[in-house]
A and B are shown apart, each in its own frame.
Chain A
Amino acid sequence: MSEISSRGYANADKLVSTAWVAQHLNDADVRVIESNEDPLLYPSGHVPGAVEVDWVKDLNDPLRRDYLDKSGFEALASRIGITPETTAVFYGDKSNWWATYALWVFELFGHSNSKIMDGGRLKWVEEERELTREKPSVSPTSYNAPERDDSQIRAFRDGVLSHIGADGQLVDVRSPGEFAGDLLHIPGYPQEGAVRGGHIPGASSCPWSRAANDDDTFKDAAQLRAIYNDELGLDSSAPTIAYCRIGERSSHTWFVLTYLLGFSDVRNYDGSWTEWGNSVGLPIEK
């Protein structure tokens, strides 16, 4: 039994170790994908053979606040050389925020054959594993994707409004200061992005970082259950929505609840506080 499979996760196969990735660098059925906030990191050195998916230019529509469409995803998949059968292994900076975000967007197109490299880029670097600046030569693939399906794992403003009206489970994964309305952004970041501070009524506060160890790996299932089930009182079988400021930190929590704890119905509200905090007519709590 691997160390990860001994942690008691509901879906331990969604998480792989840095050692596993090192052993599969030349596996034609595996594509390693780096997604970062800092655009300099991938070109400065990446896991050998890894391709880059940039959260701004690759995953977003350039003119609408929305994700790429079917044809855009097919073009992206072709560029990075994956087919629906390819195992996509994501990793990145910021404790895998953008890796889980990219994995979540890929799942909107049904690409569920995906994994996260536990510990992300930082763990790979700190273990002094090989990095290269050489971009891999990728043969374009043909990928016939379904239309993007936002109905299962993505939440929208009106859906959140209905959800809180029904006393649904809502997890605010931002910092306590943002939840309380004292801050409009992560501590240490410029305080902008919303005209109001606070949180969505009925939300429970649970910063995303509570699911992570100091080395950016995920805590084990018992530790996670103690936080989300016992402390927050979340019901694993009840519909749950996670949100943050723009949906990247809540992707991390969405991954934890969905795959590590096996919650059956979790959606990520990517509009998050930049939409809710700025929207006319929506209620907030402080």
Chain B
Amino acid sequence: MANYPPKLQEYLDDFGFISSREDRVDFLIDIADEFQPVPDTIASKPYDEARRVIGCESEAFVWAIDRPDGTLDFYFDVLNPQGLSAMAMSAILDQACSGAPLDQVAAINGEVVFTFFGKDISMGKGRGLTELINAVVYQARQRLHSD
């Protein structure tokens, strides 16, 4: 089993127990309700296009800010007000990856998106959410390789 950030593993375990589509959707909506867009102290609109998640139709942006302990704080925004799935995924990544050991963040496989959203998610949305995860993983790997 991959050595993921504990909070991510906790979410994966929780979603692994879900068998009904309705329960999955309700859980994801609860998580999406916790989504907090990037504060003005970190970034303001119009955002730097370098922060855009390529391939995410919901217009997601990701920032990684270094912490003194060598880990990262992740911040997100989702410009499409109807991008609820991207907001849920962003909230999970924020809670799971901010302050987590970089090697654990770097080890995340984008396919965990299907554990969260189920295998019947549309191809475009599934890939877009995977790219959101990959954007976080990329930041962690970049920091690891710069050491």
Contact = CB atoms under 8 A, between A and B. Distances in A.
Interface of A: 36-41, 43-44, 56-57, 93-94, 121-122, 125, 185-186, 188-190, 192-193
Given A56-B122, A193-B123, A41 B84 contact: yes
A40 B80 CA distance: 14
A189 B81 contact: no
A87 B133 CA distance: 42
B101 interface: no
A44 B122 CA distance: 18
Contacts of B32: 40, 44
Contact of A188 (B26, B29, B54, B123): B54
B84 A189 contact: no
B127 A190 contact: yes
B25 A190 contact: no
Nearest to B56: A188
Most buried by B among A39, A41, A57: A39
Q: Please give me the 3 A-B residue pairs with the lowest Cβ-Cβ distance, nearest first.
A: A190-B127, A40-B84, A189-B124
A57 B83 CA distance: 20
Contacts of B112: none
B29, B82, B84, B88 — which one has the most chain A CB atoms within 10 A of its CB? B82
A38 B88 contact: no
B57 A39 contact: no
A285 B93 CA distance: 43
B85 A56 contact: no
Given A121-B82, A122-B81, A190-B123, A40 B28 contact: yes
Nearest to B24: A39
Interface in B18-61: 21-22, 25-26, 28-29, 32, 54-57
Contact of B127 (A36, A40, A189): A189
B55 A190 contact: yes
Contact of A186 (B21, B22, B85, B124): B124
A162 to B, nearest CB: 30
B81 A37 contact: no
Contact of B55 (A36, A56, A188): A188
Given A37-B125, A39-B21, 12 more contacts: A39-B25, A39-B85, A39-B121, A40-B25, A40-B32, A40-B88, A41-B84, A43-B26, A44-B84, A125-B81, A189-B124, A190-B124
B94 interface: no
A35 to B, nearest CB: 13
A189 B26 contact: no
Nearest to B124: A189
Contact of A185 (B82, B88, B124): B124
Interface in B72-121: 81-85, 88, 120-121
B85 A189 contact: no
B128 interface: yes
Contact of A43 (B25, B121, B127): B25
Interface string B1-32: 00000000000000000000110011011001
Contact of B82 (A43, A93, A189, A193): A93
22 contacts: A37-B124, A38-B84, A39-B85, A40-B25, A40-B88, A41-B82, A43-B25, A43-B26, A44-B29, A44-B84, A56-B122, A57-B21, A57-B120, A125-B82, A185-B124, A186-B57, A188-B54, A188-B56, A190-B124, A190-B127, A190-B128, A190-B131
